[in-house]
Structure 1
Amino acid sequence: MTPKDKRPRKRVRGWGGVAGMAVAVAATAALLPAALHQAPDEGKRRAPQTTHAAPAAATEECKDGQAAEASLKPDGGAKGDAVRRIQDRGQLIAGVDQNSYRWGYRATDGGLQGFDIDLARAIAKQILGDETKVVFRAIPTNQRIPALQQEKVDIVVRTMTINCDRLEDVDFSSEYFRGGQQVMAPKGSGIKGMDDLDGKTVCTAAGSTGEEALNKEVKGAKVLTVDNQLDCLVRVQVGEADAVVTDNALAAGQAAQDPSMSLEGDRFTDEPYGVAVKKGSDDLVKRINKVLADYRKGGDNSDWMKAYRKWLAADLPGIKAPPEPKYRD
């Protein structure tokens, strides 16, 4: 492995390298209307195949034998305080990422685009009849739940894993994607998975399931936390970290930006992503679940599969269908 102080800095696609990325990372927290554009073709780098079949032991049960990802049944006409607040305002405020390639990131014109951005627009259309009536607020990983609790945003669409701990604080839609934690490291580093992280400096986002997994599974690693997951790629590039642990869905996009990086080993968790809302917002959950139900319809021609092919298939190949929703009894 090249010594840290000799490791060359690498350029990152989409932001003009480390300097350009630093500007993008710093430009958070404002309310930003965003136009949606087709993602540029970044080549055909192949990440390990992802499926939606979860290991039985990976499913958390929160109460009454219900899986964590069991949500409320869809209802496109549900109305309560949460939906009324959005309709009275005339805008949906969505907490998103602006630094996750393919999911939520900035185009060259400054607008936001990606799989999560498309989904937020579809939710705005369902509730307000117009997909452009959405305002995006870029929020760090560890501020997703506080932003909902403090009503700074109505929804969070930000590759957020549904689990029992988080369900104590927020509510979730049904599952819209399934990822898992995986190691990403420079090619030739000798790091081939979790077993090689002992004694290494490993970067992950503060408040993420990656941080939780590292602290639990790799006692000998020095865990470096950052506000936004893309910052971890920068830390490796400048020699401040040896590897990254993050959702494989995010890591695949980062490896596509920087071909000197590689996903290593198998994913070691199984994590369903959901749209998060303030606790008790049952009406809003039902409306979002209606969007997701419609998204899944149509088999290979469904809106979900079209969005997958548009944004994710190049870096996460092999997915044949969206995850099946689970609803509460």
Structure 2
Amino acid sequence: MSAVNPRRPAVYVVVGAVLALGSLALTGPGATGAPPPPPAAASEPATPAPQCTEVRESLRPQGQLPAPGAMPAGSTMAAIAERGRLIAGVDQGKFLSGYRDPLTGGLDGSDIDIVRRIADAILGDPDRVQYVVLNIADRAAALERDQVDVVVNSFTVTCARQRTVEFSAPFMPAEQRLLVPLGSGIEEVADLGDRTVCTSVGSTTEIVLRDLGLQVSTLPGIPDCVLEMQRGRVAAVSSDDVILAGLAAQDPNTRVVGRTLASTRYAVGMRPDEPDLVRFVNGVLEEARADGSLAASNRRWYTGRLDPVPAPLPPVYRD
């Protein structure tokens, strides 16, 4: 049976710097009657961090995958096998990709299929998984804190994220489109006119919509936007088509429409200091492409709900 840990990672607040500043205020030269020191020369402005300009590809698998239970000694996979379970960061609220089945109470979806495949490759049992439910903002932090082995949660490969996350070769494409009510007359963004489209706050989706000159409303999550659309307060919702397809399946009075506004790629997220696991997971994904199970998973979840059904992406490596 899979263990489920729905708790979000803890957040710690550091107050030592504030206390240190208070101590300086009490013991500095002004407190003893000494003349204040001359003003310091203006410091040079800090050099901004270099801009991220290029997404790098993943690490190539090395040879044939070892058999389950025969992981290389000292490897990350051997440590997972010794622990007896894979710890995976996932979502439980994205219908079709990662969601909790109300009938069984278990997690299911296309992302969960990938997690189970990785667990089976390491442990010989797809059910030996401890699922950690993560919000979008927690995905990279959970890896940095070593709270999970992998994150499979509609995780988009971006240059900025690659500063702290090593990604597998992407396994699924996603395209930014629109979700609209049936009978709305909206087929493309041009049909919105001066009506409002909603998306998640601070997302790359928001940037794309504003660059198109659209009237944009932002809320914490896409489900919040759907609720606003159902209330008639916004005309459309924009996000990745894979996510929108799940929402449309839950509300048959909506549909996914329009041309692609932006393209992205989903991949498995891992720690940069565990390249052996990255290569291993890429080997698992290559086998899933070759035997057709990756394409079969996409057809299972998205046929009749997304046209076209996303096809598995061919791998590209940097080495």
Please, what TM-score do these two structures have when normalized by structure 2? 0.73
Quote the Cα distance in structure 2 between the aligned partners of 1:255 and 1:146.
30
Distance 1:131 1:160, change over 3 A: same
Matched, 1:323 2:313: yes
1:155 maps to: 150
Residue 102 of structure 1: how far off its partner (Å): 1.3
The 5 Å alignment of 1:135-284 reads 135-196=130-191, 199-206=194-201, 208-215=203-210, 217-227=211-221, 229-284=222-277
Which sits farther off after the overlay, 146-155 or 284-293?
146-155
2:302 maps to: 312
Which sits farther off after the overlay, 252-261 or 71-80?
71-80
2:83 maps to: 89
Quote the Cα distance in structure 2 between the aligned partners of 1:316 and 1:262.
9
Q: Are the counterparts in 1 of residues 298 and 310 from structure 2 also a CA contact under 8 Å?
A: no
Which AA in structure 1 matches 2:123?
L
Residue 226 of structure 1: how far off its partner (Å): 1.8
Q: Are the counterparts in 2 of residues 182 and 263 from structure 1 also a CA contact under 8 Å?
A: yes
Q: Secondary structure at the match of 1:109?
A: coil
Residue 225 of structure 1: how far off its partner (Å): 2.6
Q: Are the counterparts in 2 of residues 70 and 327 from structure 1 also a CA contact under 8 Å?
A: yes
Structure 1 vs Structure 2 CA RMSD: 2.8
Quote the Cα distance in structure 2 between the aligned partners of 1:241 and 1:139.
28
Q: Secondary structure at the match of 1:326?
A: coil
* Identical-pair percentage: 36
Q: Secondary structure at the match of 1:105?
A: strand
Q: Are the counterparts in 1 of residues 199 and 216 from structure 2 also a CA contact under 8 Å?
A: no
Residue 250 of structure 1: how far off its partner (Å): 1.5
Matched, 1:30 2:17: no
Quote the Cα distance in structure 2 between the aligned partners of 1:242 and 1:210.
16
Residue 279 of structure 1: how far off its partner (Å): 2.7
Q: Are the counterparts in 2 of residues 142 and 207 from structure 1 also a CA contact under 8 Å?
A: no
- The runs of 5 or more residues in structure 2 that have no matched partner are 9-51
The one-character-per-residue Cα deviations of 1:128-175 (angstroms, maximum 9, x if unpaired) are 222111111222222222222222322111122212222122111011
Residue 113 of structure 1: how far off its partner (Å): 0.8
Quote the Cα distance in structure 1 between the aligned partners of 2:182 and 2:313.
32
Quote the Cα distance in structure 2 between the aligned partners of 1:81 and 1:198.
56
1:122 maps to: 117
Name the larger-Rg structure: 2
Which sits farther off after the overlay, 127-136 or 183-192?
183-192
Q: Are the counterparts in 1 of residues 206 and 216 from structure 2 also a CA contact under 8 Å?
A: no
Q: Which has the higher contact order (CA 8 A, sep 6+)?
A: 1
Quote the Cα distance in structure 2 between the aligned partners of 1:82 and 1:212.
38
1:22 maps to: none
Quote the Cα distance in structure 1 between the aligned partners of 2:294 and 2:156.
18
Q: Secondary structure at the match of 1:95?
A: strand
Quote the Cα distance in structure 2 between the aligned partners of 1:199 and 1:171.
41
Quote the Cα distance in structure 2 between the aligned partners of 1:253 and 1:93.
25
Quote the Cα distance in structure 2 between the aligned partners of 1:208 and 1:143.
15
Matched, 1:73 2:42: no
Q: Secondary structure at the match of 1:244?
A: strand
2:98 maps to: 104
Please, what TM-score do these two structures have when normalized by structure 1? 0.71
Quote the Cα distance in structure 2 between the aligned partners of 1:278 and 1:232.
32
Quote the Cα distance in structure 2 between the aligned partners of 1:207 and 1:87.
38
Which AA in structure 1 matches 2:164?
D
Quote the Cα distance in structure 2 between the aligned partners of 1:180 and 1:165.
19
The one-character-per-residue Cα deviations of 1:263-290 (angstroms, maximum 9, x if unpaired) are 2210111211111112332111111111
Q: Are the counterparts in 1 of residues 88 and 131 from structure 2 also a CA contact under 8 Å?
A: yes
